[in-house]
Chain A
């Protein structure tokens, strides 16, 4: 019997969509005082899936009255919650964390549908970290006296927390978990394009029997945000989002004299020395800028590469990018999902036009997957020939767009890396340990990753220098913003 050898050829991916069905209600109200309620504003906003522009649900839009109601509910709940022992508060947080783990798949799918990020990221990164954050701060709840030795830590009070759309549930966890551990109550405003997972968290809070009013969730747009931040009745303001909004909030907080933490934009440098393990560094570039479509405040959006290896790095980057799959975020093989909104896509496209006008060279490696007809999409790309004065080297693009620049000496690398209004994160790639310590101490950045990038851990503080904000979230340091000493 004669048999033939298989022909070589392209091995096509079959679609592999996440198949577990989840329920999404037609409407979601505000979560105030432990109950879902209709907005007194009478306004509802459709939350769409950025991957196909279909409406997922209509979500209540909080007006100023609703926000005030939520703040009042948090105020009412404050004495009871702050009066609980740390151990009791910790029990609630542990319960929330466990319930998040149990409902992880549902939360991951919902996060992906509402925000457009690939399911492999929401499943393997976002939701596990969300649970991890609650576990971590649950552990601190009864140990605050060890975090602040010799001093008495008391809660700040009612905390207004405004979070962005890039990691919707994770940012809610970053804000809520330490606040609750320290005995505060919360009014949280999720971003207008991604409210669904925060509201699903509200469902979990009901399930675990969190006392009513301890956490209140008021979805809405800038109006709700302004009402919340501008309220006389809040004791603390925490914001993650754009530097532009952060500056306005800083003015408000300064007038009222309330404590403020800001986690804002970034234009983080990822520095490759010529003794770096190049293949690993290329992986680091990829995860640095294309993780979550580049919608990451600490994205390594400026690659600084030492002259001698620049050509090799660029060609390896192009080769590696051929295997990035852009498409349906619910497909388990998708590496890069949908851009979060039409507005953000327009902003990214603007920079893609500005770059070449300024003289930079755009490298858009054509992936072979076809993009869907509907939804918001941007193929990953990078610029070479970028000068430090270029807009694409200075402004935060918040998309899958990278600027590659070269340097000759370590001194020049540090100078260029720090030549930005931001200072959130940085990456260093070299095989020399001494060089890592030398350079890391000279970088003005809140987080410096060495021979890796975009690694997050609840035990590690995160925050910025300069216009990237102030205050730290995560770790023992993350407790500081939520206590009075």
Chain B
């Protein structure tokens, strides 16, 4: 039934005004990401400009909003922070020995403290999948608690790496575990903690059924406590059409509060350009060529 329900969102028909609003909303939710060994400061600055201003040229009226955040490796946090200063775009950094998490806890926590000190607004951590799959749930939870503490004021996104957890049962259990662990020190503010599907380094990354299961965990936590946890599918969402299907799923599984970058993000790199292309099509009536949008 999970697969069936997830497939039903992709059959929804999203047209005209709804499509326009959806595209703008999706742009505003993107965590524009570059996570490669070959990243350079210049590439990060290009990414940041794209984040602040997804489309230059004024053909789209009103202008598209800025994206939610840029997401970079720890070494690029300062560069990114300077490049987006004053724009409202947040800087998110992966940490905790991303993407594997296969390092001693002390090192992973130091990682977190460093990026927060460098100015990261948001920390994307990975859970200890080895411990989770071995059934050492307390250990996983304890590590999440410590990372949360190390984050201080920075918001935390907890990557489950669902491609490695494989089964829906595991994904639901990991979602519940992550939410409970992060919430242990008193009440969370809405959006202070996100759960996130993937690092983008493992295939499959985000899928609709997996995201649906995580949204259901978020819904159940909300109904039980009134606290709104955020959701971030990451990896594999490349087209505007698929982004709109995700938004449809959020809207029908949770409610309109989650239709906001405060509570929902797309972890993506090429998605923004397709959103721009579709927005251009709505405003100009013709499709832009690939070279009409800038690389990022």
Residues of B within 8 A of A4 (CB): 65, 88
Q: How far is the CB of B283 from the nearest CB of chain A, in Å? A: 16
Is A283 touching B17 in the complex (CB atoms < 8 A)? no
Hey, which bits of chain A sit against chain B, CB under 8 A? Answer: 1-16, 120, 124, 277, 279-280, 283-284, 315, 319, 322-323, 332-333, 451-452
A283/B13 contact (C-beta < 8 A), A11-B21, A315-B223 known = no
Is B22 touching A11 in the complex (CB atoms < 8 A)? yes
Expressed in whole angstroms, the Cα–Cα distance for A16 and B15 within the complex equals: 7
Q: How far is the CB of B125 from the nearest CB of chain A, in Å? A: 24
Residues of A within 8 A of B263 (CB): 8
A280/B65 contact (C-beta < 8 A), A11-B25, A333-B12 known = no
Q: How far is the CB of A365 from the nearest CB of chain B, in Å? A: 13
A8/B87 contact (C-beta < 8 A), A3-B53, A280-B2, A323-B252 known = no
Which residues of B91-123 have CB atoms within 8 Å of chain A's CB atoms?
none
A6/B11 contact (C-beta < 8 A), A11-B22, A11-B25, A452-B1 known = no
Q: How far is the CB of A354 from the nearest CB of chain B, in Å? A: 32
B56-69: contact bitstring with A at CB < 8 Å (1 yes, 0 no)? 00000001111010
Further 16 A-B residue pairs, CB within 8 A, beyond A3-B52, A6-B65, A283-B5: A3-B87, A4-B65, A4-B88, A8-B263, A11-B259, A12-B18, A13-B18, A14-B15, A280-B1, A283-B4, A284-B1, A319-B219, A322-B255, A323-B251, A451-B1, A452-B1
Interface size class of B (residues with CB under 8 A): 35 or more
A124/B11 contact (C-beta < 8 A), A3-B52, A11-B259, A323-B252 known = yes
Expressed in whole angstroms, the Cα–Cα distance for A280 and B257 within the complex equals: 24
Q: How far is the CB of A167 from the nearest CB of chain B, in Å? A: 20
A120/B256 contact (C-beta < 8 A), A3-B52, A11-B25 known = no
The 8 closest A-B pairs by CB, nearest first: A8-B260, A16-B13, A14-B18, A280-B1, A323-B252, A332-B13, A6-B28, A283-B1
Expressed in whole angstroms, the Cα–Cα distance for A57 and B87 within the complex equals: 62
A5/B28 contact (C-beta < 8 A), A124-B11, A280-B1, A452-B1 known = yes
Expressed in whole angstroms, the Cα–Cα distance for A287 and B66 within the complex equals: 40
B38-54: contact bitstring with A at CB < 8 Å (1 yes, 0 no)? 00000000000000110
Residues of B within 8 A of A16 (CB): 13-15
Expressed in whole angstroms, the Cα–Cα distance for A20 and B16 within the complex equals: 18
Q: How far is the CB of A210 from the nearest CB of chain B, in Å? A: 34
Expressed in whole angstroms, the Cα–Cα distance for A138 and B170 within the complex equals: 44
Expressed in whole angstroms, the Cα–Cα distance for A4 and B213 within the complex equals: 31
Expressed in whole angstroms, the Cα–Cα distance for A452 and B2 within the complex equals: 11
B261 at the interface (CB under 8 A from A): yes
A3/B18 contact (C-beta < 8 A), A8-B256, A8-B259, A11-B25 known = no
The residue of chain A having its C-beta at the shortest distance from the C-beta of B63 within the complex is A3
The residue of chain B having its C-beta at the shortest distance from the C-beta of A16 within the complex is B13
A10/B256 contact (C-beta < 8 A), A2-B87, A284-B1, A332-B13 known = yes
The residue of chain B having its C-beta at the shortest distance from the C-beta of A124 within the complex is B11
A3/B88 contact (C-beta < 8 A), A11-B22, A16-B13 known = yes
The residue of chain A having its C-beta at the shortest distance from the C-beta of B16 within the complex is A14
A279/B216 contact (C-beta < 8 A), A11-B256, A284-B1, A319-B223 known = yes
Q: How far is the CB of B238 from the nearest CB of chain A, in Å? A: 21
Contacts A/B (CB < 8 Å), 5 sampled = A2-B87, A6-B261, A8-B256, A14-B14, A14-B18
The residue of chain B having its C-beta at the shortest distance from the C-beta of A8 within the complex is B260
Is B17 touching A14 in the complex (CB atoms < 8 A)? yes
B247 at the interface (CB under 8 A from A): yes
B78 at the interface (CB under 8 A from A): no
B19 at the interface (CB under 8 A from A): yes
B149 at the interface (CB under 8 A from A): no
Expressed in whole angstroms, the Cα–Cα distance for A295 and B253 within the complex equals: 26
Is B223 touching A5 in the complex (CB atoms < 8 A)? no
Is A8 touching B22 in the complex (CB atoms < 8 A)? no
Residues of B within 8 A of A333 (CB): 12-13
Expressed in whole angstroms, the Cα–Cα distance for A284 and B219 within the complex equals: 19
The residue of chain A having its C-beta at the shortest distance from the C-beta of B260 within the complex is A8
Q: How far is the CB of A36 from the nearest CB of chain B, in Å? A: 36
Is A5 touching B247 in the complex (CB atoms < 8 A)? no
Residues of A within 8 A of B87 (CB): 2-3
Is A12 touching B17 in the complex (CB atoms < 8 A)? yes
Expressed in whole angstroms, the Cα–Cα distance for A5 and B253 within the complex equals: 23
Residues of A within 8 A of B24 (CB): 6
Residues of A within 8 A of B68 (CB): 5
Interface centre among A14, A120, A277, A284 (most CB of B within 10 A): A14
The residue of chain B having its C-beta at the shortest distance from the C-beta of A282 within the complex is B1
The residue of chain B having its C-beta at the shortest distance from the C-beta of A452 within the complex is B1
Residue in contact with B259 in the complex, picked from A2, A9, A332, CB distance below 8 Å: A9
Is B66 touching A5 in the complex (CB atoms < 8 A)? yes
Residues of A within 8 A of B2 (CB): 279-280
Residues of A within 8 A of B155 (CB): none
Is A11 touching B219 in the complex (CB atoms < 8 A)? no
The residue of chain A having its C-beta at the shortest distance from the C-beta of B217 within the complex is A279
Q: How far is the CB of B254 from the nearest CB of chain A, in Å? A: 9
Residues of B within 8 A of A7 (CB): 260
Expressed in whole angstroms, the Cα–Cα distance for A333 and B65 within the complex equals: 28
Residue in contact with A8 in the complex, picked from B1, B11, B15, B262, CB distance below 8 Å: B262
The residue of chain A having its C-beta at the shortest distance from the C-beta of B264 within the complex is A8
Q: How far is the CB of A333 from the nearest CB of chain B, in Å? A: 6
Expressed in whole angstroms, the Cα–Cα distance for A280 and B28 within the complex equals: 32
Is B65 touching A120 in the complex (CB atoms < 8 A)? no
Which residues of B207-253 have CB atoms within 8 Å of chain A's CB atoms?
213, 216, 219, 223, 247, 251-253
Interface centre among A1, A8, A9, A284 (most CB of B within 10 A): A8
Expressed in whole angstroms, the Cα–Cα distance for A362 and B162 within the complex equals: 40
The residue of chain B having its C-beta at the shortest distance from the C-beta of A17 within the complex is B13
Q: How far is the CB of A427 from the nearest CB of chain B, in Å? A: 11
Q: How far is the CB of A19 from the nearest CB of chain B, in Å? A: 10
Residues of A within 8 A of B16 (CB): 14
Residues of B within 8 A of A284 (CB): 1
Residues of B within 8 A of A315 (CB): 223
Residues of B within 8 A of A15 (CB): 15
Expressed in whole angstroms, the Cα–Cα distance for A283 and B1 within the complex equals: 7
The residue of chain B having its C-beta at the shortest distance from the C-beta of A12 within the complex is B18
Residues of B within 8 A of A1 (CB): 52-53
Residues of A within 8 A of B261 (CB): 5-6
Q: How far is the CB of B51 from the nearest CB of chain A, in Å? A: 10
Is A11 touching B257 in the complex (CB atoms < 8 A)? no
